[in-house]
A = this chain, B = another copy of it.
Amino acid sequence: MKGYILEGIGTALWKDDLAMPKAGPGEVVIKPVIVSPCTSDVHILETMAFPFMKGRALGHEAAGVVHEVGPEVKDFKTGDRVAVPSAITNWKIPEAQEGYDKYDSLSPYLNPDPRLQGCFAEYYLVKDADLNVARIPDTVTWEQAVMITDMATTAFEGVRWLNLKYGDTVVVYGIGPVGLMAVCGAALRGAGRIFGVGSRQVCFDVAREYGATDLVNYRDGDVAAQILEKNNGPVDAVIVCGGSDISAIASAMKMVRPGGTVTNVAAFMHDKEFVLPNDIWGYGCTDKTLRTVSARGGRAFMERLLALVEFGRFHPEKMATHIYRGMEHIPESLEKMGGKDRTAIKPVVFF
């Protein structure tokens, strides 16, 4: 079996003699049909941020078919079309009864089980399939499904924590693929005016289609200043989906009104500290909420987002600007994702 294996900092190689995975109790083996590279794949490749990944296939955004079903799996059978969330977690812990499944990870990034691989392989294993793997509705395409696995689960969860009300004015700070999904997520929670902050035309265009009403280019000056002016005052909510560094969060806190909320779904791995000028929140007295949010997992949530696609509520496939055919294009797609092609939002690779 073939896979694209992380060897060390900056090095990933094709191997074609990988052991074929075998589904144990509760597990399934997935044969990916489509995968998508993520900026965090690029980051991991560059930094080896997750030590467990050494020697494992990269990749965490995939949709495919069930190739083998282990004992005790109840809801899936060979050949089923499924999508796998980026956050594969252990729901069989008491903490999960209150929503903290994600702190016991079953993903190859965070779990030492040597049988685990990422999805940039011909086959890979997913644990606790009945609780993590999502069935793809017949009318949902592969391109749509793969966009749900990380981009939408991250963005929609970040929007959920904004606790929007009908008509709220929302800023999506950073309209890469997660931010574009946040535009959709905000529109689908009743946002009125939606500002999208970015710099690339391709993202502006899709953001507009997704429901952004105002587009702000961070190259045109201080983002908070631009938005405070355009909006004639502070906004109700901001979701930070990217930025050159963690000062994006401080900027978000500046542009949100008293009583408002900022969520952050971006990973600022290169920053040692978050620094907030103390006057921005009235020296600790002005009512503002800041929530950091990671991608939500779980079959139930995944299937909810797939239902939204099924019923036409949003159209994630518009982000698939570059479609490759053949697994051998994975390295190229990674370069496209990490690189400076200003026309790329999200490449996908059909195997």
Contact = CB atoms under 8 A, between A and B. Distances in A.
A246 interface: yes
Contacts of A312: 213
Contacts of A266: 284
A240 to B, nearest CB: 8
Interface in A266-302: 266-269, 271-278, 281-294, 298-301
A15 interface: no
Interface in A247-273: 249, 258-259, 264-269, 271-273
Given A97-B131, A167-B307, A308-B167, A267 B294 contact: no
A77 interface: no
A325 interface: no
Given A97-B91, A166-B305, A300-B94, A291 B292 contact: no
A286 B269 CA distance: 12
Given A100-B259, A294-B287, A246 B307 contact: no
Given A278-B271, A284-B246, A299 B97 contact: yes
Nearest to A192: B307
Interface residues of A, number: 81
A114 B45 CA distance: 53
Contact of A264 (B165, B188, B284): B284
Contacts of A220: none
Contacts of A278: 246, 268, 271-274
A268 B294 contact: no
A350 interface: no
Interface in A150-194: 156, 160-161, 165-169, 185, 187-194
Contacts of A165: 98, 304
A79 B167 CA distance: 25
A304 B131 contact: no
Contacts of A156: 166
28 contacts: A92-B130, A93-B131, A94-B130, A95-B300, A99-B259, A103-B258, A165-B304, A166-B304, A166-B305, A166-B308, A167-B305, A167-B308, A169-B307, A187-B313, A188-B190, A192-B311, A213-B312, A240-B284, A268-B278, A273-B276, A274-B281, A274-B284, A281-B292, A282-B292, A286-B294, A287-B293, A288-B291, A289-B289
